[in-house]
Structure 1
Amino acid sequence: MADELDLLRRANPVPADDPRFHDRPLDPGAEHRLQVLTRTGRAQPARTGRRPRLGPLLLDALRPRRPRDWAWTVTAAAAVGAVVLALTLSGPATVPAVAAPRPLVVETGSAPLPLDVLADRAAAQGARLGLRQGTHVQTWSLSMTSGPGARPPVTLPEERVVRWAADDSHTELVVATDPSHPGKPVVTDADPVPRTVEDGHVISRRTYPPSWSDAPPSARPPHDTRRLRAYLEEIDRLDAMDTGGLLDAVGTLLDNWTLGSRETAALTRVLADAPDLRPVGAVTDRLGRPGQAYVYADRTHSVRRMLILDPATGTVLGLEDTVTRGDPEWGVKKGDVMSYSAWLR
């Protein structure tokens, strides 16, 4: 017996002195998932111009049906010019899945629009549109795994609609759908292993009881620039909010509220004061909407962050995070889009 125990000890696959298992800085994939977890409160394994096609689909899905178990997935990047990659997925059939697409490209020859000019345009809108609690967002992100037997990154597009009732209860509907491939099978990660489902497949449908939290982002956002900046700082929860933290806080705000014209004007002015957020020119977002792009190079996390705003009103259309340095352990390469959110009214 002593000899057998000695053999087992020597065969230990995780020796105490192995440097691979010591504490070390988070890699880009882990940093991204940590940011999403702290921003949304949901863990991830490793977000359109209004589309009439989805209006009836989502309305029909909101009708009462047998409840489904809640399972949140990492959203994935899908875009114009996406490369098709055949992946072996669980489900009724094996079908091609959309791999990480190319980042959005600024239109050649387009003139960058300074944020302070756009802030003036936003202020000129007055109170044309009102503030509404709830959100409608199409999301894409990259689901990643690492280690032995890791699968390639997978694209997981989802649409989420959150609506609040008069009694402060709210419903949340999450649907698997990819507007760039209407009617095609969609990959979802609601189960332990990614699988393909029909376009419009309901991932989750939940009703939440009344909530009266008075802390951001549940609290009503102000339309005064100074107070809105403090509101976003409270979401970010850092001593001094940098540009990356500001963009995270903006994403959280828009995942909870559909801003009115006055709140949009205040937000645009806050963004105009952000250091290192530079205008780069015109883009067409992933839902075909014209926008102006503003880029922040997050060198700490090796990510390029592109914020897309409506050039007439300052409304935030989307936010794209793109890898600037590859990581073989997670299967990501420079230029891969890790996440994209497109917000609608």
Structure 2
Amino acid sequence: MSDDDVLRQLREEWEPRAAASPRGWNPDPRVQANSLARLAELSRDRQMAAGEQARLPRRSSRKQRLTLTVASIAAAVVTVVVIGSVIGSGPQPSYAATPDALVYHPGAAVTATDLLRQAAKAALASKVGGAGSVDFIRTSSWDLNSRVDGRKVTTAVVPLNKQLWRGPGGAAVTVRQYGQPTFPDQDSRAAWEANGSPGANSRPIRVDHSAGDYPFLWPDRPPTRDGRLRDWLGQGHDVTTSGPLLMAIADLLNERVLTGPEAAAVLRLLAELPDLEYTGTVVDRAGRPGEAFSVTSDYSGLPTRYTVIVDVDAGSFLAFEQTLTTEAGQYNVRVPAVISYLVFVETRFTARMS
């Protein structure tokens, strides 16, 4: 076996795992042992060709996985250095996977205030779908810091699909299931597969929560009077600035189906924000057209654009997104980068808790 043959075989085994590692070089110990054994075999072949017989001891324990002759170790070290150089120069994910940014188109020459007031009037005139006293919310979400099957995935975007039923007494039912993963490139897909394809073919997980068990942020319904709503949202959030206020509204939408008057109050509150900008028209991640409104804030420590997407004609909320604009900080992403999204796929009232 030639040096080129060994290099080729080791690259086939090590490159996918090196690409999957945040540090670029963190192979599985079993793969490492097998690879070093091949290096030892190469050294033995060379010694035999020179008329010298070399005998390789077997692995004996966890602390001593592979014992090689001095000549074999030397060959292993030299070749591993070469392999490390080869893998380091090959294609591998240098940034964490993030979703594609939505495409915003400049809208009509109107202000955010005017559009949101129009949406508030539409909300008052609309009737929320369904009948009953149980809130039903179906969402699709992703977050850069989320874990899939207990593992942090940096090479794929794996959304979480969630259904929530919230009863009037505080009882709840949740069903969670991972969605179809997406990848920025083929190397990222290969790295995700080498990591065990976390989230693939996952089954729905249902959990029944008795009253008081589910961590709802607000036990009561939101007020519909403008003067009270901001203070009410501030029970669990810092709402002194616009960025965290938009996050509080997203949290509210994640646990409540808003009635027409409640949605109108939230829309009027947004219309009062002096730094809220009309970002333009957009199609959200569920394929629905809407109008986007954004605030840029460094409340989190990094300049972040918080965007809420609204169906102005219906007076309803479609989605919420966070995007790093100019700096990544400790995040291993290329800016601008979407670091979180929440899509309100379906919201309605129902009579049953499932």
Q: How many residues align?
A: 234
| 2:115/2:312 contact within 8 Å kept | no
Partner in structure 2 of residue 334 of structure 1: 335
Deviations 1:243-273 (A, max 9, x none): 0121111111011101121111110000011
RMSD: 3.4
Identify the match of residue 158 of structure 1 among 138, 157, 160: 160
Matches within 5 A, 1:2-21: none
Q: Distance in 2 between matches of 1:321 and 1:109?
A: 21
Q: Distance in 1 between matches of 2:102 and 2:331?
A: 22
Shift of 1:110: 5.0
Partner in structure 2 of residue 258 of structure 1: 257
Partner in structure 2 of residue 296 of structure 1: 295
| 2:302/2:329 contact within 8 Å kept | no
Deviations 1:228-253 (A, max 9, x none): 222112231x3x62101211111110
Q: Distance in 2 between matches of 1:104 and 1:297?
A: 16
Q: Distance in 2 between matches of 1:311 and 1:180?
A: 30
Code of the aligned partner of 2:159 = P
Partner in structure 2 of residue 3 of structure 1: none
| 1:319/1:340 contact within 8 Å kept | yes
CA spacing shift, 1:321–1:124, aligned 2, 3 Å: closer
Matches within 5 A, 1:62-81: none
Code of the aligned partner of 1:312 = D
Higher helix share: 2
| 2:135/2:167 contact within 8 Å kept | no
TM-score (norm 1): 0.59
| 1:142/1:154 contact within 8 Å kept | no
Shift of 1:99: 3.0
| 1:100/1:336 contact within 8 Å kept | yes
Code of the aligned partner of 1:241 = T
Shift of 1:157: 0.4
Code of the aligned partner of 2:100 = R
Identify the match of residue 103 of structure 1 among 91, 101, 104: 101
TM-score (norm 2): 0.57
Shift of 1:330: 3.1
| 2:302/2:328 contact within 8 Å kept | no
Code of the aligned partner of 2:160 = E
Shift of 1:328: 7.0
Shift of 1:111: 4.5
| 1:143/1:154 contact within 8 Å kept | no
Code of the aligned partner of 1:246 = L
| 1:308/1:319 contact within 8 Å kept | yes
Q: Distance in 2 between matches of 1:339 and 1:105?
A: 16
Q: Distance in 1 between matches of 2:283 and 2:182?
A: 13
Larger radius of gyration: 2
Partner in structure 1 of residue 141 of structure 2: 139
Partner in structure 2 of residue 228 of structure 1: 229
Stretches of structure 1 that go unaligned for 5 or more consecutive residues are 1-84, 88-97, 182-186, 188-192
1:286 aligns with 2:285: yes
Shift of 1:207: 0.7
Code of the aligned partner of 1:318 = A
Partner in structure 2 of residue 75 of structure 1: none
Matches within 5 A, 1:45-194: 99-108=97-106, 110-112=108-110, 114-126=112-124, 128-130=126-128, 133-143=135-145, 152=154, 154-165=156-167, 168-178=170-180
Matches within 5 A, 1:204-219: 204-211=205-212, 216-219=217-220
| 1:122/1:312 contact within 8 Å kept | no
Shift of 1:132: 5.4
CA spacing shift, 1:291–1:178, aligned 2, 3 Å: farther
Shift of 1:342: 0.7
Q: Distance in 1 between matches of 2:165 and 2:334?
A: 37
Code of the aligned partner of 2:205 = S
Partner in structure 2 of residue 61 of structure 1: none
| 1:179/1:287 contact within 8 Å kept | no
Identity among equivalent pairs (%): 26
SS at match of 2:332: coil
Shift of 1:223: 1.9
Stretches of structure 2 that go unaligned for 5 or more consecutive residues are 1-90, 184-188, 190-194, 348-354
Shift of 1:198: 4.0
Shift of 1:180: 8.1
Q: Distance in 1 between matches of 2:167 and 2:312?
A: 32
Shift of 1:168: 3.9
CA spacing shift, 1:256–1:116, aligned 2, 3 Å: same
